[in-house]
Every structure is written in structure tokens, then in C-alpha cells.
Structure 1
């Protein structure tokens, strides 16, 4: 019972943590660039960034299988390079989590960067600080509330991902079975005790993260 409960939870936290690492880095960099730049096609690009937020998870999973599956150019290249496919591995779960969680990080971080007064950044540069130093010591701290909120929301979204993960990573016990897919299987097999244990654990984790966001924004 203990292993049955813990293994999917451990894998979910592992996948969500790795995915969040990449999402936070990509989200901050891209959001910072998009918050201050204007160029032709910006609206179209932003729409593409946010598209996974509104698409059905099955559609996201479909595209991941098509573009990264064993029959795709990228999938075959990765399989040749590492002698193993991407699909039906825990890395496939990480990729699915990154795709669905990125829009939340991007949009939240971008809102934070847009709220920073450009005159403060300009004053820092006039005083001799470079672009990177201004970003690290002025822009990033001022936008930190939004970045923390985006990071936690992205982690929660990655933790709860079901459809795209099921299609791209599968539901292999001990290998790719995350808590959302494990709950589905537990309900199908009538193991409601285990399903409730996972449901309550997910509620607890989500509740804690939302409380952290609330506390951080309040101070």
C-alpha cells in the first residue's frame, strides 16, 4: 500500500520539479524580452505561447506524439543519439508538463515585468549599470512577486497534468504513471481508498502553494 501510494506521487513531484525548472528559466527570459520589445508578428507569437492554455490536453498530446514520437524527425534523431525514444518515458512527462505549464509562467512573469517602471531601469543604466546588472538587481526584484506566483502556478499545473501526459508518456506503473493517471486507474479498478489518498495529497499540495502565493503577495 505504501509503495503503491508513494511511487506515483514521487514521480509526479519529480516531473513537476524538473519541468518547473525549465519553465521558470524560459518564462523569465522570454517574458522579459516580450515585455519590452515591439515587432511585427508579436501578437501571433504570443498567441502561440498561450495556445496550450486553452487547447484540450488531448490536442497537446497529439501534437507531441506527432512532432516528438518515434516516427518524427526529432524523435528519430533523439532515439539515434541516446539509443532510446522520448515517448513513453518520464522525460516525455516532463516535456508535456513544460508545454502546458509554460503559458502560466510566461503570462504572469510578463505582467510583472510590464509593471516595472522603465524610468527606474533607465536611471540604473545612466548610473553605469549594464543591461544584465539592471535586470538582476532592479527588474527581477521588482517583478519577484509575479515570478513567484507564476512559478508556483506552473508547478501546480505540471503536477495536475493528465491528458497530454497520458498520450505522450503513457501510464506505465513505476515509470510514467503520475498521480492524475493513477487516480484514474484506481477509480476504474474500484480502489477508492488509494484514489482518495492521492486526491487528498494533491489538494494538500495545491492548498499549500496557494497559501504561499497569498502570503507572498500580501507582504
Structure 2
């Protein structure tokens, strides 16, 4: 119990929860928007766009991390713009951990949102249009409530995936204790240093959090 109350144990947990929560908010907004658009719109290049959106699910995390470094590194246009605005690079910061977690978690939310919106009867939305409802009202008052089960499941799965992200985060955000060290990277370091007691404590905490999240999803889908 003394171990569980130490700052060394708690810091990666609080940082992981903060990173996963912020990444989850980003993913929920973007994933819901993309899922809604691609569930209803048909256009040339749709398959290519959807394949790009799903790539983080199948790419090795090291590849995702490498691409993020190239896109947001100090020599890139995006990286230089961020450094000019905030007077520091994004790489090797907790913000980088949020970006990496959001990228790898996005496909889960997108797929759930798209499936949920496709399950909504288009005739219900069409009837609302006939009655004069705007597209915004249709989405907020009809589509999202009817697809809520899929959206909630996708949100929880995305949060859990962001919480457990390791490879891309390690490459892009690094492993700075108290700054960018999340639970997965802390476990890796503890194992390599032979600190099995601390490693087991973090592993068990991850199992408990993930189990609770997945149990909620199962109950929602059931």
C-alpha cells in the first residue's frame, strides 16, 4: 500500500489519464464527424480516404511515431509553426503524447461512429428535413441519439486504446519522468531496470482500468 501512494507510482497514472482523456476528446469529435460524413456521403476517392483513416490501426507503432516526428519535427513546416506560436517544439512534450495517442485511437472511434450512423434509418432524417429541421439539428437531435450506443462504445474503446499507447508515444514524446512518462513506458523502464514490484503495480492498475472500460462496453452492447 505504501508503494501505491508514492509519487513515483502515481505520476505516470495521472499523466496517462490526462493524456487519454484529452486524446479521447479529440478523437470523439473528429471520429464522430468523419463517421457521420462517410456514413452518408458517397464520393470519388472515398475508399482511399477511409483506408488512410484506418492506417494507424494496422501500421506498427514505430512507423506511426516516425511519421509524427517527420510531420511535427523541428524541421517541418508544422513543427516550425508550433514552435513559433508556443516558443517550444511539440516533440518530447506531454502534448506529443496526446497527439500520438489520438492518432492510434482514432480508427476505433471512426469505425464505431460510422457503423452507428449507418444503422440510423435515413427515412427518419429525411422526415425531419421535410419538417424543416436543419442539418445541425438532425445530427444533434436525431442521428447522434440514435447512434449513441455505438458512439459510447467507440469513445470508451478509444480512451482505453489511448491509455495503453506505447510505441508511437515513446518515439514522439519520449520517456521523461513527470513530463511524458505514461504507464506503458514506465512499465518498460521498470522491467528493464529490474524493478518488478513497481512494474507489477502499474501492470495491475492497467489491467483493472482496461477491464472496467471493456466491461462497460460489453454491457452497452449487450
- Quickly name the TM-score band, shorter chain normalised: over 0.9
The separation in 2 between residues aligned to 1:72 and 1:143, in whole angstroms, is 39
The separation in 1 between residues aligned to 2:132 and 2:79, in whole angstroms, is 47
Structure 1 stretches of 5 or more lacking a match? none
Runs of 4+ in 1 over 6 A off after TM superposition: none
Indicate yes or no: 2:221 matched with 1:206.
no
Equivalent in 41, 48, 55 of residue 51 of structure 1: 55
The separation in 2 between residues aligned to 1:116 and 1:48, in whole angstroms, is 25
Q: For 1:160-171, list aligned pairs within 5 A.
A: 160-171=164-175
Offset of 1:80 from its aligned partner? 1.4
Offset of 1:128 from its aligned partner? 2.3
Give the aligned partner of residue 88 of structure 1.
92
Q: Deviations over 1:179-216 (max 9, x none)?
A: 00000000001111110110011110111111111222
The separation in 2 between residues aligned to 1:115 and 1:182, in whole angstroms, is 41
Relative to the length of structure 1, the TM-score reads 0.98
Offset of 1:127 from its aligned partner? 2.1
Relative to the length of structure 2, the TM-score reads 0.96
Offset of 1:217 from its aligned partner? 2.3
What is the root-mean-square deviation in Å for CA atoms of aligned residues? 0.8
Give the aligned partner of residue 134 of structure 1.
138
Q: For 1:57-136, list aligned pairs within 5 A.
A: 57-136=61-140
Indicate yes or no: 2:158 matched with 1:154.
yes
The separation in 1 between residues aligned to 2:190 and 2:129, in whole angstroms, is 58
Query: What SS does the corresponding residue of 1:43 show, helix, strand or coil?
Result: helix
Query: What SS does the corresponding residue of 2:176 show, helix, strand or coil?
Result: coil
Offset of 1:18 from its aligned partner? 0.3
Query: What SS does the corresponding residue of 2:74 show, helix, strand or coil?
Result: coil
Structure 2 stretches of 5 or more lacking a match? none
| Aligned length, in residue pairs | 218
Indicate yes or no: 2:34 matched with 1:23.
no
